[in-house]
Amino acid sequence: MNITDHEAPLDDEQIDGYIKIDRYNPAKINRIATHYQDILQQLGEDPSRQGLLKTPERVAKALQYLTHGYDLDPAEILRSAMFEEDYSQMVVVKDIEVYSMCEHHLLPFFGKAHVAYIPNGHIVGLSKIPRVVDAFARRLQVQERLTNEIRDCIQETLSPVGVAVVIECKHLCMAMRGIQKQNSVTTTSAFTGAFAQERTRAEFLRLITASLD
């Protein structure tokens, strides 16, 4: 590895393997920050007090980060690490942390995703499954669409025998406001192909609830 490259600061951008995420687009940050200055004022705050001086810019950067999935191509992420392999059993990646933003309130929802597929001549680099989850989660979402988008992307790109996705999340819009239910968890699921069969689906559900201990 080239040492200079290795030590180069990644300050305002991240090289994400194959896709450069222009995380902090300065023009966009400025535009969003201007709005937040006004929002702070509307909330009865003084945007010129010391603690808030940089807040509009911080919020703008945070929002750009929380929605950086728009800059990613999930299908390309999968295509970048597909390998021919004669393995025909279920591959399960479970307990993938999910952080997303509800499109109704712009509040976080978070939890876990469990993803499985049954290869059809091709396997995919394992890390690419959580990367696909992130690429869709880091957008404004509803949990149902997030679940379907992950399923469809894997099915269309990898053409496996079947795909299964289960997502379990807590929604802050239901906890810190609104109905204020602190412990409710929403579960969504999406299946294709072989996972329509009761036996296959049951094996997946057993594997995602099984513990390693």
Q: Smallest distance from the beta carbon of 180 to ligand GTP, in angstroms?
A: 9
Residues 23 and 65 sit within 8 Å (Cβ to Cβ): yes
Q: Among Zn ion, ligand GTP, none, what binds residue 97 when CB lies within 5 to 8 Å by partner kind? A: none
Catalytic-role residue among 14, 105, 122, 203? 105
Residues 161 and 88 sit within 8 Å (Cβ to Cβ): yes
Q: Is 173 a catalytic residue?
A: yes
* CA distances from residue 210 to 97, 114, 133, 204, 207 in whole angstroms, order as listed: 17, 12, 21, 10, 5
* CA distances from residue 25 to 2, 30, 184 in whole angstroms, order as listed: 27, 9, 37
Question: Which residues make beta-bridge pairs with 48?
Answer: none
For residue 49, state whether it binds ligand GTP (rule: CB under 6 A): no
Position of tokens 């025998």? 161
Nearer to ligand GTP, 57 or 168 (CB): 168
Tell me whether residue 114 is annotated as binding.
Answer: no
Q: Smallest distance from the beta carbon of 66 to ligand GTP, in angstroms?
A: 15
User: What is the DSSP secondary structure assignment for residue 196, as one 8-state letter?
Assistant: G
Between the two ends of the chain, the Cα-to-Cα distance in Å is 38
Nearer to ligand GTP, 91 or 142 (CB): 142
Q: Is 169 a catalytic residue?
A: no
Q: Smallest distance from the beta carbon of 138 to ligand GTP, in angstroms?
A: 15
**132 to 151: interface string for ligand GTP, x by CB under 6 A:** ----------xxx-------
Q: Is 103 a catalytic residue?
A: yes
Instruction: Give the largest Cα separation in the chain, rounded.
Output: 63
Q: Is 122 a catalytic residue?
A: no
Detail the residues annotated as belonging to a binding site. Answer: 102, 105, 173
> Which stretches of the chain bind ligand GTP, using CB under 6 A?
102, 104, 142-144, 171, 173-174, 178-179
